[in-house]
């Protein structure tokens, strides 16, 4: 994700991203958000909801809750926390499932695509981008 968007999210949700600038020995958040800008709104919405949940906790509890890593893996969003309540896990699961319907590049309606072992969720327009020339939509059995 581009630096300006990274900074915007980190500044908007300081409790959730308190580890963003710590060393790699302390957190994987030191690498930032390892995905493209198309998921910004999805991550922003999830972050807002998680931040609200963290703020409901006591100050003593709050220190244990924060994002550990945010990235793309196998074409979908992966969002890891240091510690999470059951409700936080539900919010994360919902966002991860939703990521398979959102183009990671532009944020439009997307679908899981494959280029051999590489997977990425792309829309019809971004799939035509020369950077993704080897990608094609993965067809479900019901579409064959």
Q: Whole-angstrom Cα distance, residue 112 to residue 100?
A: 6
Residues facing 111 on adjacent strands: 122
47: Cβ contacts below 8 Å, ≥ 6 apart: 9, 12, 13, 16, 17, 67
The predicted model scores a pTM of 0.92
Q: Whole-angstrom Cα distance, residue 89 to residue 17?
A: 17
| pLDDT value, residue 144 | 39
Torsion angles phi and psi, residue 94, rounded to 5: -60, -45
| pLDDT value, residue 139 | 74
Query: Is residue 122 classed as helix, strand or coil in its secondary structure?
Result: strand
What are 131's two structure tokens? 């950077």
Q: Whole-angstrom Cα distance, residue 104 to residue 107?
A: 6
Tens digit of pLDDT at every position of the chain (144 positions): 999 999 999 999 999 999 999 999 999 999 999 999 999 999 999 999 999 999 999 999 999 999 999 999 999 999 999 999 999 999 999 999 999 999 999 999 999 999 989 999 999 999 999 999 999 988 765 553
Q: Whole-angstrom Cα distance, residue 70 to residue 51?
A: 15
């Amino acid at each position: 994700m581009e630096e300006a968007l990274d900074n915007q999210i980190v500044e908007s949700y300081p409790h959730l991203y308190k580890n963003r600038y710590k060393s790699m020995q302390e957190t994987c958040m030191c690498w930032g958000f390892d995905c493209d800008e198309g998921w910004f709104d999805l991550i922003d919405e999830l972050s807002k909801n998680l931040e609200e949940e963290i703020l409901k906790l006591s100050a003593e509890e709050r220190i244990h809750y924060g994002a550990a890593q945010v990235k793309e893996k196998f074409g979908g969003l992966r969002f890891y926390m240091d510690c999470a309540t059951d409700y936080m896990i539900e919010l994360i699961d919902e966002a991860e499932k939703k990521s398979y319907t959102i183009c990671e590049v532009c944020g439009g309606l997307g679908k899981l695509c494959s280029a051999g072992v590489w997977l990425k969720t792309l829309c019809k327009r971004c799939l035509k981008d020369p950077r993704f020339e080897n990608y094609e939509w993965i067809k479900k059995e019901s579409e064959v």
